Every structure is written in structure tokens, then in C-alpha cells.
């Protein structure tokens, strides 16, 4: 499930967090509830195992909706079939295991009760003639139910059922070994199709359903499901993120707790939410050969899961609706096309074919953002930021009982109680972005990122401060390499927006072998107005000079990142200040800007304000903006704000001073690092 979370860095975003309830059906994950109520003709066949296609599809591989050449069943009943006439079918005896029911053309109804339904039996086939429709009349909850095995549903239009939220219409109880093919499942509430172990869902039109086109969850784990050559479009007509804010229960399709799922060669487009969402303890999912376009949110989300292969997909025009909404609300956090949240490669988890995590060979064209690798510092087993009664799969000793104060601080639980974004390779992808094409006029779009937030809760968490910030981008084996970028791209590493050169340089070392706009050392797509030394003190203190009641020095004693920071010594008890000594300052432009810095307590109870003055060509101060850390602590804190430099801005000058009420006294000192003033 997803809900909006304000991170320790002050960001409010689409950071997905799993929540729990009384029973699985009520978790709020969008997990289905469980309520106890062989192709006969020439439909295209799908193998039980689908191989990765050689390259991304240039055109949609599954244009199924309205395609009679795929969706029309046989014009005559198969030998031995039970023929079902159109009209009210409530009197039909469905309890004939192994039978084939052949539905004649026309509209079929199942009765007037909400639980009027087809109760399936093992190894039974339900096949439609051309024009056969099963209609729920806006009365019936479900079409096909019960935990039967070996069922086939094909060549039918299934519409107007009103499954409750987190439940589904076809295969409501997630029966195993079902084949669901060449159907139109449309205009239903809930999920169009539920998927159980070893099910094959292929060549269907799954469109305009209230919550999902498909949904897969079983407590024991769905194994080896195949979702291939379907058109999945227009789902979440119920607008569930508004009806149930933060439910994380929408999109083209969602899977939980699967092993070896294959989602291949589908056309996933125009869904009112994400396209494909793998959420909570999936492993070994293949997402390949899909054409994923124009979904309101991300094309692909992979969340608190393991070991995947996201390859050779064509990903176009996704997340623009949500990106614009976030920007309008002043939220400039990355809104990507491919969002990896607390997920990565771990060989200890059975992934079927995959024990690594690869994002490769994809074409990403004019989405709101690119690929984001995110890890919420506050999210781990037994944390209120996770909320669900689930833990990681890497260690059976990591439980809700053991991942607790007093035990989680020590190895191996310190590591194994977390879902980690680790061992993710993002290689050989093509990234194209033009802000004008997506209507982006702010920061945050056209961004790739490997980042985290400042850990802040619960009080007993051992991951507070910048612990995860300092590891996700530098020591968890996450890397971009050999990619091709065209257009205006920006990057975020750890918690800092950096330019192309910094992204490629130590300590991040990203995108080795990649090119941007035809050059491996191309123009910086995101600028910090401050020079490197002024921003990071790596070789000197840059342009910083004492203003009053201070001395300053370059220091290796404490650093937020890199090798050095700025040591500020307080010399008098009346307040203190430093400034950039190159008036009228650094060259700057009008428009959207980020101002930020990091601070650390040395001695004394100090607060810090950073003051930024935007200056005209005539050396007139046009506007002043400030950000403040009210009270420093012994872990690094960041102050950051998005501001707009006024028209006529030509340069920018920066002062840093004691915050109101925290003047300090002689002998106090603090550390400052990673200043940003720029179009990031």
C-alpha cells in the first residue's frame, strides 16, 4: 500500500509504505479478500515460461481490445460441450467437473443476487461463441469463483460486475492452474482478474475496471504466474487513491508474494495510477517486452521485494499526471517512470530464475522522470513506517519480535530487518527527456536518483540520521552504467541533487561508460551556482570568509559526505556570521531554485540560518530567502527549500549566521557541509 510520508529531508512524496489490518483482506494493500461464494480454437498460445525478448517493442505487442481476430471464439460448440443459451443462466447446473460450457452469442446473466455467480469445478472450461457476454447487471459481485484447479475461461466478454474493493471478478478465489485467455474483462468494480499459482493470463483485454486489470496474491505465495500479451488499459476508474487516500491499491495490475512471476509482452496504457506494481515480498519477477505508455503514475513499481529482471520494455509518457500534481503542490521529489523502493538483489531469497536485480535494455522516452532507487530510512520490519505484519525474507530469525529495541542494533538483525535497495544494476538503457514535451517547468522532472531520507523514527531505530543516505548511493552496490541520455537530465545521490560530473565522480561513481547528449563528459544538466570548494570544501574553504564573531577552517574531523567540511568557531557571545566574500556573488538566473545546507553540532547549543540574496545586474538586492536548522545535533541535519529567484536576478550572495535565539558563546563550534544554491 502507499501513503504520503514526509521524509526526514522535508520531502512529502509518493513513498510507498505497506500498512496492515486485521486480516489480509483488510490490510488496505489492495490485497484481495477471499469470500466463500486447453484452447478450443486458434487463440495464440503462450508458453508456461516466457523468454526475454531481444529488444524493446517499437509498437504495442498486444493490441487486443476490440480485436475480433483474437477475441472471437469458435462459431460452433466443441464436441461434447454443454451449450448455454443467452439470457438468464441462473438455473444452469455448473457442478460438472471436467465439463466444457459453451456460451452462445448474446447476453448471459447469472441471477438477481449479489452472490449469483458461476461456482467453478476442477478442470472445467468456460468458452464463448463470438458475441457471448456474461453481464453482472451492476448486481452480481463475481463471475467465476471458488478454489478450483485447472479451469479455463476463454473468448468471453465479462462486464458490469461489482466486486468489492480488493476483490475480483474472474477467478475470485485465486484458484491454481487456471488459463484465462482471449477475454474482454471490462467495466467491473474491483479487479478484473485474480491470479493464482501457475495461472496463465494471456491475450485478454483488461480495461476500465474500477481498481485493477489484474491482481495476484496468495498467503503461501503464487508461483510461476504468466501474464502475457494482454492489453491492460484505463483501470482504476473508481479513483481509489481519492476515495481511500494513500491506499496504494490502484493501477493496471498489482502482485504480492509471488515467486517467478512473468509479466511479458503486454500493452499497459492510460491507467489511472501505476502501470505494473510488484508490492511486498515478491521475488524473481520478469517484466519484459512490455509497451507501457501514458499511465498517470509510474510505469513500473517494485517495492519491498527481491531479485528481478526489468528488461527491454518501451516506457513512454508515464507519471506526467502525478508529476504535475506534485509540482503544483510544491513537491519536487523525483517522480520516476521506474520506481524501485526498498528492493534489490539478494541470493538468499528464492527468485526462481533470478538472484540479481537488473534494469536493462529499456527505452524511457519523455516520462516525468527516469529510474529512481529509493530506500526509506524509517522503513523496516516492525517499524511504524512499514506498518504491516510482515518481515523480510532474508532471515527467518528477523521477526516482529526480534526486530525490536535492544536486538535490532546488532548483527545480523541490524542488516536483515531491513528491506534494502541494493545490488541493482541500471545498464544499457536509453533515456530521452524534453521538459517541454511533458509540460515540466519546475525542478524534479527528468531525474534519475539513488537516494534516501534522513532517518527520524521510531526512537529506538538504529538507522536514524544519515545512515542510509550515506550507504545507498555509495556502498550498497547500486550502479548505473553504459546508458545513453538525450535531453535535460538531472541526478540525485544520497540526498543531494548533483550535476553530471559529480554523479560520475567519487564518491558516487555512477554512469561509467554512459553518454549524455553525445558526450561522456557532457554539459551539467543541473547547476549549483556555488563553486565546488564553496559548496563542499574539498580542496579549500572556497569563497567563505568570516563576517563577525567567527573564525573558519577546512576540516576533516566531521563530514556529511566527501573528505572535508567547514569548521566554524564562535569567538564572541553576541551572535556570529560568515559570508561568501565575492560580492556581488556567484552568477545566477531567475526561476525555480533549491537552497540547502547541512549542519552538525560541535560544541554548544547552536542553530544556523542560511540567508540567500538574489542580486540584479545593478547590484540591487531583489529578494532574500532563508532556511534554518533551529537546533543542531550530533548527527548531520539538512535545511532545504524550493524558492523562486525573481526576474532580473544576475547573481547570488550567501550568508550563514546564528539562528534567532541561539547566539552561542566563545569556544562553541559547528560544522557545515554541502551548500546548494542553484537550479536543482
SS (H, E, C) 611-631: EEEEEECCCCEEEEEEEEECC
pLDDT for 342-357, tens place per residue?
999 988 887 666 667 9
Q: Kindly report, residue by residue over 59-101, the tens digit of the pLDDT.
A: 999 999 999 999 999 999 999 999 999 999 999 999 999 999 9
Give pLDDT tens digits for 565-574.
999 999 999 8
DSSP 8-state assignment for residue 70: H
Q: What is the pLDDT of residue 221?
A: 60
Beta bridge partners of 259: 223, 283
For the chain, what percentages of helix, strand and coil (3-state, to nearest 5) are there?
5, 35, 60
Tens of pLDDT, residue by residue over 422-452, are 999 999 999 999 999 999 988 789 999 999 9
pLDDT at residue 14 tops 70: no
pLDDT band at 370 (very low <50, low <70, confident <90, very high): very high
Whole-number pLDDT of residue 1: 28
> Quick check: 206 pLDDT over 70?
yes
d(CA 270, CA 237): 11
Residue among 89, 142, 152 nearest 121 (CA): 152
Helix (H) or strand (E) holding 68: helix 68-71
For residue 491, the number of C-alpha atoms closer than 13 Å in the C-beta half-sphere is 25
User: pLDDT of 593-635, one tens digit each?
Assistant: 889 899 999 999 999 999 999 999 888 999 999 999 999 999 8
Q: How confident is the model at residue 22, as a pLDDT?
A: 22
Question: pLDDT at position 234, please?
Answer: 96
Give the alpha-carbon dihedral of 611, 612, 617, 618, to 10 degrees: -20
Which range is least confidently modeled, 20-24, 102-106, 245-249? Answer: 20-24
Report the distance separating Cα 114 and Cα 570, nearest Å.
74
First to last CA, the chain: 30
pLDDT for 626 equals: 94
* Pair type for strands 577-580 and 649-658: antiparallel
| 311 Cβ neighbours under 8 A, 6+ residues apart | 52, 286, 287, 288, 358, 359, 360, 361, 362
Cα distances (Å, whole numbers) of residue 145 to 45, 148, 156, 178, 400: 24, 8, 16, 12, 34
Which domains does the chain possess? 1-10+297-525 (no CATH), 31-241 (no CATH), 532-679 (2.60.120.260)
Percent of the chain with pLDDT strictly greater than 90? 66
Task: Please tell me the predicted confidence (pLDDT) of residue 384.
Answer: 87
Greater confidence (500 vs 20) lies with 500
Note the pLDDT of residue 377.
94
What pLDDT does 12 receive?
28
Bigger pLDDT: 531 vs 23: 531
Look at residue 397 and tell me whether its pLDDT is greater than 80.
Answer: yes
Least confident of 107-116, 165-174, 235-244: 235-244
Determine contact, residues 151/174, Cβ cutoff 8 Å. Answer: no
Is 70 exceeded by the pLDDT of residue 2?
no
Instruction: Give percent of the chain with pLDDT exceeding 70.
Output: 88
> Among all chains, which residue has been given the C-alpha cell 541526478?
491
Question: Using CB atoms within 10 A of its CB, is residue 528 exposed (0-12), middle (13-18) or buried (19+)?
Answer: buried
Which residues, other chains included, contact 223 with Cβ-Cβ below 8 Å and sequence gap of 6+? 197, 198, 258, 259, 260, 352
Q: State the chain's maximal CA–CA distance in angstroms.
A: 98
Nearest to 581 by CA among 655, 527, 657, 676: 655
For the question of whether the overall pTM of this predicted structure is more than 0.85, the answer is no
Query: How many whole angstroms separate alpha carbon 642 and alpha carbon 140?
Result: 51
* H helices present in 329-376, as ranges: none
User: What pLDDT, on the 0 to 100 scale, is given for residue 29?
Assistant: 38
Q: Could you tell me which of 167, 158, 199, 173 has the C-alpha nearest to residue 119? A: 173
Q: For 104-126, what is the mean pLDDT?
A: 97
pLDDT of amino acid 16: 29
At residue 414, does pLDDT exceed 50? yes
Highest averaged pLDDT of the listed ranges 14-28, 36-50, 223-237: 223-237
Instruction: Measure the CA–CA gap between 7 and 10, rounded to whole angstroms.
Output: 5
Render pLDDT for 617-628 as a digit per residue (tens, 0 to 9). 888 999 999 999
Amino acid at each position: 500500500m502507499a501513503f504520503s510520508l514526509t521524509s526526514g529531508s522535508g520531502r512529502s512524496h509518493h513513498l510507498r509504505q505497506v500498512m496492515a489490518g486485521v486480516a489480509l483482506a483488510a490490510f488496505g494493500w489492495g490485497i484481495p479478500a477471499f469470500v466463500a461464494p486447453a484452447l478450443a480454437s486458434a487463440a495464440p498460445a503462450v508458453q508456461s515460461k516466457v523468454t526475454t525478448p531481444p529488444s524493446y517493442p517499437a509498437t504495442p505487442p498486444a493490441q487486443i481490445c476490440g480485436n475480433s481476430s483474437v477475441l472471437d471464439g469458435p462459431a460452433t460448440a466443441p464436441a461434447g460441450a454443454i451449450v448455454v443459451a443467452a439470457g438468464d443462466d441462473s438455473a444452469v447446473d455448473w457442478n460438472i467437473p471436467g465439463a466444457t460450457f459453451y456460451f452462445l452469442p448474446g447476453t448471459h446473466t447469472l441471477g438477481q443476487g449479489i452472490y449469483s455467480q458461476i461456482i467453478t469445478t476442477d478442470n472445467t472450461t468456460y468458452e464463448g461463441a463470438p458475441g457471448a457476454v456474461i453481464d453482472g447487471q451492476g448486481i452480481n459481485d463475481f463471475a467465476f469463483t471458488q478454489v478450483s484447479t485447472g479451469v479455463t475461461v476463454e473468448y468471453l466478454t465479462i462486464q458490469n460486475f461489482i466486486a468489492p474493493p480488493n476483490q475480483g471478478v474472474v477467478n475470485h478465489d485465486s484458484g491454481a492452474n487456471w488459463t484465462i485467455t482471449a477475454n474482454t474483462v471490462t467495466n467491473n468494480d474491483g479487479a478484473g482478474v485474480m491470479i493464482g499459482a501457475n495461472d496463465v493470463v494471456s491475450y485478454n483485454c483488461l480495461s476500465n475496471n474500477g481498481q485493477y486489470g489484474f491482481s495476484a496474491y496468495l498467503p503461501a505465495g503464487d508461483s510461476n504466474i504468466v501474464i502475457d500479451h494482454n492489453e491492460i488499459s484505463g483501470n482504476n476508474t473508481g479513483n481509489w487513491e481519492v476515495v481511500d487516500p494513500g491506499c496504494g491499491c490502484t493501477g493496471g495490475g498489482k502482485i504480492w508474494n509471488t515467486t517467478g512471476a512473468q509479466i511479458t509482452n503486454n500493452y499497459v496504457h492510460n491507467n489511472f495510477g501505476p502501470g505494473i506494481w510488484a508490492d511486498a515480498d515478491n521475488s524473481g519477477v520478469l517484466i519484459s517486452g512490455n509497451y507501457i505508455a501514458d499511465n498517470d503514475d509510474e510505469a513500473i513499481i517494485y517495492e519491498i521485494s527481491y531479485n528481478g529482471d526489468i528488461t527491454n520494455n518501451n516506457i513512454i509518457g508515464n507519471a506526467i499526471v502525478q508529476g504535475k500534481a506534485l509540482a503544483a503542490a510544491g513537491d519536487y521529489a523525483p517522480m520516476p517512470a521506474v520506481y524501485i523502493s526498498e528492493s534489490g538483489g539478494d541470493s538468499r531469497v528464492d527468485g526462481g530464475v533470478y538472484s540479481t536485480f537488473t534494469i536493462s535494455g529499456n527505452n524511457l522516452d519523455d516520462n516525468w522522470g527516469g529510474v529512481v532507487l529509493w530506500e526509506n530510512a524509517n522503513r523496516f520490519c516492525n517499524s511504524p513506517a512499514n506498518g504491516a505484519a510482515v518481515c523480510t525474507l532474508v532471515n527467518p530469525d528477523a521477526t516482529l519480535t526480534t526486530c525490536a529495541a535492544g536486538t535490532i542494533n546488532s548483527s545480523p538483525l541490524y542488516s536483515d530487518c531491513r528491506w534494502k535497495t541494493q545490488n541493482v544494476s541500471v545498464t544499457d538503457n536509453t533515456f530521452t527527456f524534453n521538459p517541454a514535451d511533458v509540460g515540466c517547468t519546475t525542478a524534479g522532472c527528468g531525474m534519475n536518483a539513488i537516494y534516501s531520507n534522513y532517518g527520524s523514527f521510531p526512537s529506538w531505530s538504529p538507522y536514524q540520521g544519515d545512515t542510509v543516505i550515506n550507504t545507498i548511493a555509495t556502498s550498497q552496490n547500486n550502479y548505473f552504467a553504459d546508458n545513453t541520455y538525450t535531453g535535460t537530465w538531472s541526478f540525485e545521490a544520497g540526498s543531494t541533487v548533483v550535476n553530471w560530473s559529480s554523479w560520475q565522480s567519487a564518491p558516487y561513481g555512477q554512469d561509467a561508460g554512459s553518454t549524455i547528449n553525445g558526450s561522456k563528459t557532457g554539459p551539467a544538466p543541473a547547476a549549483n551556482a556555488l563553486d565546488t570548494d564553496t559548496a563542499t570544501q574539498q580542496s579549500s574553504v572556497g569563497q567563505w570568509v568570516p563576517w563577525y564573531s567567527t573564525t573558519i577552517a577546512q576540516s576533516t574531523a566531521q563530514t556529511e559526505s566527501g573528505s572535508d567540511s567547514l569548521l566554524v568557531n564562535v569567538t564572541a557571545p553576541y551572535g556570529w556570521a560568515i559570508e561568501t566574500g565575492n560580492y556581488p556573488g556567484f552568477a545566477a538566473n531567475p526561476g525555480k531554485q533549491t537552497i540547502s545546507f547541512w549542519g552538525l553540532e560541535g560544541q554548544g547549543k547552536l542553530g544556523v540560518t542560511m540567508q540567500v540574496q538574489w542580486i540584479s545586474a545593478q547590484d540591487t538586492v531583489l529578494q532574500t530567502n532563508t532556511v534554518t536548522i533551529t537546533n543542531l545535533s550530533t548527527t548531520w541535519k539538512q535545511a532545504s527549500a524550493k524558492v523562486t529567484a525573481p526576474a532580473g536576478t544576475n547573481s547570488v550572495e550567501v550568508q550563514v549566521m546564528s539562528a534567532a535565539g541561539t547566539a552561542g558563546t566563545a569556544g562553541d563550534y559547528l560544522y557545515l557541509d554541502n551548500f546548494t544554491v542553484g537550479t536543482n
